[in-house]
A and B are shown apart, each in its own frame.
Chain A
Amino acid sequence: MKKILVADDKLEVVELVAATLEGEGYQIITASDGMEALEKIGKEKPDLVLLDVIMPKMTGLEVLAKAKKDPQTKDTPIIMLTAKGQQLDKDKGIALGATGYIIKPFSPSALSKRIEEILAGVG
């Protein structure tokens, strides 16, 4: 069973992602700030990470940069969740090695499809 980490300080978002992927055959783990997210990326070795950009303690971009630097986790696909939808954040994310990004608000089915593709190695 593929393990997916959802990192967002908004409980509603975490719950939404969890509800979206429920019954799709994934194990969902969560983190509510950047620090926790980085910790869980290292420990839990998720197959995919959904990472919010704006989070307390450590921003999503910082978490991304650190995860990509760590040889243990550098190959873990990371999808950035951004509500800002700003080109700068997107570019930064891609430059730092994000696999992709999803703009809030997002459609649960679109998210589910995207995750499937990435895990299948298509994305």
Chain B
Amino acid sequence: MDERLEKKMLDLEKANKALKQSEQKYRELVDNADCAVIVIEPTGYLSFVNPKFCEMMGYTMEEVKKLHFSKFLHPEDLAMVTENFKKKLSGQQTPKSHKIRALTKPGDTIYVDYDSSVIKRKGRIVGIQAVIGDITETKKAEEEVRESEEKYRMLFEGANDVILYVNKYGKIIDINKRVEDIFGYRRDEVVGKSFVELGVLRSKNIPRIVKLFRELIGGKGVISILELEVKNKNGKMVPIEASTRVIKRNGKIVGTMNILRDISKRKKAEEEVKAKSQFLESLIEQSPLPTFVIDSAGIVVIVNKAFLKVYNVPKKEMVLGKNALTEPENVRQGVVKYIKEALSGKIVETPEIEFISPYENEKTVTKSRLFPIFDTTNRLTNVVVMHEDITERKKMGEKERQYFSDLAFLSKTAMELVEFTSNKDIHSYVGEQIRQLFPQSVVIINSFNKTTDLFRVRALLGVGKLTTRFLKILGRDPVGMTLPINDQARKGLSKGELAKVPGGLYELTLNQIPESVCNVLEKLLGIDDVYAISFIWKGELCGSAAILMRKGTEPKNPKLIETFVRQASVTLQRLQTEDQIKEQNERLKELDRMKSEFLSTAAHELRTPLTSILGFSEILVKKKLDEKKQTRFLETINKEAGDLADIINDLLDVSGIESGKGFKMKKALIELKEVILENVDLFKSQTDKHTFKMNVPPDLSKIEADKDRIGQVMENILSNALKFSPQGGEITVSVEETDDGVKIIVTDKGMGISKKDLPHVFERFYRGDNASSGAIGGTGLGLAIVKYIVESHAGRVLAQSKPGRGSTFSFTLPLGSTEKKREGRKKE
């Protein structure tokens, strides 16, 4: 081989080898490139693609080679790219690179940077080669930035507040459109100017605002919020809240971003709230209801003057700011639990609460209403504690209740008292009523008899279970006991008022029960004080009530008991009077009965002697009788006429006694013994059944008396002694002489007088059972006359008797009568 050739061959081979190496290098470069590389034939088909293109478009190498380039283009970019392709092939100038949209095999649109250039071979354009970069991510980011900017702009322009940017010199560089709505300025009127230049700030605020701005710009702080007023274009001040923050660029403060919020509505609302709360506070302050308000923690935030007054709190500060839950004495002891309840969100109505102020010892009664207050978010903010001071009202209520209950008591008892017709239960009734007024007490009711000056215990109430022991200690039933009145009691009971008995039970029993017994009884019953009140009507004492108060009780409402006792006195007096009238009536009836019986007895007594007188005188007239008989009949007539005269004399005497005229005593010094013996002799002659035993002192003094009348007394007594001992027996006549006078005693052993009759034997017309049966004659006048005569001599008569065993009648003639006789004797 030719060396040159060989060298040429070798050089070619070398060149080939170098070319091959270079091609290899490029191929590797293209295959591994990060962007797609393609070669488009003039026909539009791709003669070369690198793997990146396949990866980018989602096709295989084989698929790509069969496709026309238009297949890879987004329809909207197809026309433009095709035209440029044609222009390029024809050698015309076209932009080197495009940002176009490509369609991938799955149909996605991707953004690519399409950079194409023609391939020339031997001066001829044979194809186009292009480098394609996927710029989808970049494109997306750009889109996002654009959207974000749009959004920001919308926000900026659409904001409710005025947003403005100020450079570090205080000039407004941007502002949104709200400035027109809120301040009335157009945007272009304010951009480029400062607030100070605009003249919208109050001059007094300018230094403060400028200082703040400078501090922000100077790096002291990054944000500030302040409220100020800005003048709008019409000159009206608009309250705003300005929020300012610094803007930094590359770490350097370049200006501020400001948000100006129109707070006129909020201000107005705040003012309204303030006004409302002031209104409420003054309402609470002026309210007559004691009121305080606490916050949710229990701290007193409002307290009104009514509260301070009612609770006697000297200073507002003693309550205000204090915790109502932990310092309750400042507000109310009783209300704390209700405050807690109200703090849990409930409305609380308290019952009546009694409260004693810690500052003054005065009792207050309140009813309270506690109600929580919530804010708009339904959060409890406060509790209002509103008291109603019902102390006075309650007092009034109590008074009225007391008044009505007293009235009811009095009218009820008045009705019942009026209904009483018998003395029997009145004392227990009165005692029970008094016990209603003093339920704890022991009550004793006494009646008082002014004739005997004796109290009689009529009722004892309230001893209850202690009765047995009470009676055992006392040793007798107190009911029925009589107690003689003394001056102390008379004085104490002179008024119809409830009065304390200083000497207790001992004094109350008018010292009739030993003091030691009284003390034991007081202890047993737990008695503290003893009170007494009298039943008085028309100035006359008719009884008393004793109220034994048990320890720890007080007699309240004395006026009520006094009124009741006065009412009861009327009834007691009425019943007593009624009883007296009844008794009197009975006596009158009895007297009437006795009188009519007397009339028939008297007729009988008169007719008996009359029968003899008339009968014997007729016989004497009509019949011829022997002298002896004539004499006897005449004697009988005479005796019977004498009897008749005696009866008539008795009748006249009694009629005299009854008419009140009586009969005169013809007193003279008489030998009593003589008078006695004369009468005894007279009766001796009339009986053979009786024996007479005389027991008369031989030296019996003379007395000053009516001889006939004393004789009449002896006659009547002896006549009875004989009449009532029809079987006969001994009749004793004794005379006893004492310093006081003489006593004449006549004793028989006859039938005696029944217990029932004995007290009445000296009553006129009264005739005992024995006498009135008719067995024994008599008018029933004799002893009445005896009594009258003896009493006319200032003496006393007495009848004693044992039924079936005999009777003793005695009478005295007092010293007065004998004294004179003694004097007389001395003179003799």
A: which residues have CB within 8 A of B?
10, 12-13, 15-16, 19-20, 22-23, 53-57, 59, 83-86, 104-109
Assess whether A16 is in contact with B608, with CB atoms less than 8 Å apart: no
Report the bound CA distance from A85 to B354 in whole Å.
92
Report the bound CA distance from A16 to B612 in whole Å.
7
Report the bound CA distance from A105 to B637 in whole Å.
13
In the complex, whether B695 has a CB less than 8 A from a CB of chain A is: no
CB-CB < 8 A to A10: which residues of B? 608, 612
Q: Which A residue sits closest to B601, measured CB to CB?
A: A84
Interface centre among A22, A54, A86 (most CB of B within 10 A): A54
Assess whether A107 is in contact with B619, with CB atoms less than 8 Å apart: no
Q: Contacts A83-B603, A107-B614 known; list 8 others, CB within 8 Å.
A: A12-B616, A12-B636, A19-B616, A56-B776, A57-B775, A104-B608, A105-B610, A109-B622
In the complex, whether B774 has a CB less than 8 A from a CB of chain A is: yes
Given that A84-B604, A108-B619, A109-B618 are known contacts, is A16 also in contact with B775, CB under 8 Å in the complex? no
**B 775-794 binary contact with A (CB < 8 Å = 1; else 0):** 11000000000000000000
Assess whether B612 is in contact with A83, with CB atoms less than 8 Å apart: no
Assess whether A13 is in contact with B614, with CB atoms less than 8 Å apart: no
Expressed in whole angstroms, the minimum distance between the Cβ of A51 and any Cβ of chain B is 13
Interface centre among A55, A57, A106 (most CB of B within 10 A): A106
Within 8 A of A (CB), among B594-644: 600, 603-604, 607-616, 618-619, 622-623, 625, 629, 633, 636, 640
Assess whether B774 is in contact with A12, with CB atoms less than 8 Å apart: no
Given that A12-B636, A59-B774, A107-B618 are known contacts, is A84 also in contact with B612, CB under 8 Å in the complex? no
Assess whether A15 is in contact with B611, with CB atoms less than 8 Å apart: no
Assess whether A54 is in contact with B774, with CB atoms less than 8 Å apart: yes
Report the bound CA distance from A15 to B614 in whole Å.
13
Given that A13-B608, A19-B633, A108-B619 are known contacts, is A85 also in contact with B603, CB under 8 Å in the complex? yes
CB-CB < 8 A to B636: which residues of A? 12, 15
Given that A15-B636, A56-B775, A57-B775 are known contacts, is A83 also in contact with B618, CB under 8 Å in the complex? no
Assess whether A104 is in contact with B607, with CB atoms less than 8 Å apart: yes
Assess whether B619 is in contact with A83, with CB atoms less than 8 Å apart: no
A selection of 21 A-B contacts at a CB cut-off of 8 Å is: A12-B612, A12-B640, A13-B611, A13-B612, A13-B615, A16-B611, A19-B625, A53-B774, A54-B775, A55-B775, A83-B603, A83-B607, A84-B603, A104-B611, A105-B614, A105-B615, A106-B611, A107-B615, A107-B618, A108-B618, A109-B622
CB-CB < 8 A to A106: which residues of B? 611, 614-615
Report the bound CA distance from A13 to B777 in whole Å.
15
Query: On chain B, which size bracket covers the interface?
Result: 20 to 34
In the complex, whether B804 has a CB less than 8 A from a CB of chain A is: no
Report the bound CA distance from A59 to B772 in whole Å.
12
In the complex, whether B192 has a CB less than 8 A from a CB of chain A is: no
CB-CB < 8 A to A16: which residues of B? 611-612, 615-616, 619
Report the bound CA distance from A45 to B211 in whole Å.
170
CB-CB < 8 A to B640: which residues of A? 12
Report the bound CA distance from A123 to B774 in whole Å.
29
CB-CB < 8 A to B502: which residues of A? none
B: which residues have CB within 8 A of A?
600, 603-604, 607-616, 618-619, 622-623, 625, 629, 633, 636, 640, 726, 773-776
Q: Is the interface of B mostly helix, strand, loop or mixed?
A: helix
Given that A12-B612, A16-B619 are known contacts, is A83 also in contact with B604, CB under 8 Å in the complex? yes
Report the bound CA distance from A12 to B644 in whole Å.
14
Expressed in whole angstroms, the minimum distance between the Cβ of B728 and any Cβ of chain A is 14
Report the bound CA distance from A19 to B637 in whole Å.
14
CB-CB < 8 A to B609: which residues of A? 12
Expressed in whole angstroms, the minimum distance between the Cβ of B788 and any Cβ of chain A is 28
CB-CB < 8 A to B611: which residues of A? 12-13, 16, 83, 104-106
Report the bound CA distance from A10 to B604 in whole Å.
12
Q: Which A residue sits closest to B776, measured CB to CB?
A: A56
Q: Which A residue sits closest to B606, measured CB to CB?
A: A83
Identify A105's interface contact among B607, B619, B629, B726, CB under 8 A: B607
Assess whether A20 is in contact with B615, with CB atoms less than 8 Å apart: yes
Assess whether A54 is in contact with B616, with CB atoms less than 8 Å apart: no
Expressed in whole angstroms, the minimum distance between the Cβ of B596 and any Cβ of chain A is 11
CB-CB < 8 A to A54: which residues of B? 604, 774-775
Which 10 A-B residue pairings sit nearest by Cβ, starting from the closest?
A: A54-B774, A105-B611, A16-B615, A83-B607, A56-B775, A12-B612, A104-B611, A105-B610, A83-B604, A105-B614
Report the bound CA distance from A56 to B629 in whole Å.
28
Report the bound CA distance from A109 to B623 in whole Å.
10
Interface centre among A53, A84, A86, A104 (most CB of B within 10 A): A104
Report the bound CA distance from A16 to B614 in whole Å.
10
CB-CB < 8 A to A83: which residues of B? 603-604, 607-608, 611
Report the bound CA distance from A105 to B629 in whole Å.
21
Report the bound CA distance from A107 to B622 in whole Å.
11
Expressed in whole angstroms, the minimum distance between the Cβ of B271 and any Cβ of chain A is 120
Expressed in whole angstroms, the minimum distance between the Cβ of A28 and any Cβ of chain B is 14
Expressed in whole angstroms, the minimum distance between the Cβ of A114 and any Cβ of chain B is 14
CB-CB < 8 A to B618: which residues of A? 107-109
CB-CB < 8 A to B622: which residues of A? 108-109
Expressed in whole angstroms, the minimum distance between the Cβ of B103 and any Cβ of chain A is 163
CB-CB < 8 A to B600: which residues of A? 84, 86
Expressed in whole angstroms, the minimum distance between the Cβ of A36 and any Cβ of chain B is 14
Q: Which A residue sits closest to B777, measured CB to CB?
A: A54
Report the bound CA distance from A116 to B640 in whole Å.
28
CB-CB < 8 A to A59: which residues of B? 773-774
Q: Which B residue sits closest to A19, measured CB to CB?
A: B619
Expressed in whole angstroms, the minimum distance between the Cβ of B471 and any Cβ of chain A is 52
